Structure 1
């Protein structure tokens, strides 16, 4: 009986692993317009983000003509 009770108690303590999403499932290219005012650091971060997307996710060109 004690073993049976323990099995139910332990079953309630099982931690389910959450499946994490990959970068390609959650991210998308960042497009800017001519009206956007960006600092050099923001430009660098956008470029780095889009380059990773090109390499890892196959996004294609990182710039967008509107």
Structure 2
């Protein structure tokens, strides 16, 4: 489901992986939940990256004497 031989897994931090939902039982429910959690984590990471970029830009401008 999540890991193929020779490729990084979600547990190793590979957020580009997709979680397939291939069941309709309780395990399928867990797969859907994991897929939703992964989507939320990707959104969180994008927000953090954006904040870091903003701080980097501001600090560079401050160091250069720009207002």
Q: TM-score range by the shorter chain?
A: 0.3 to 0.5
Structure with the bigger RCO (C-alpha within 8 Å, sep 6+) is 1
Decide which structure has the larger Cα Rg and report it: 1
Structure with the largest fraction of helix = 2
TM-score, reference length from structure 1 = 0.34
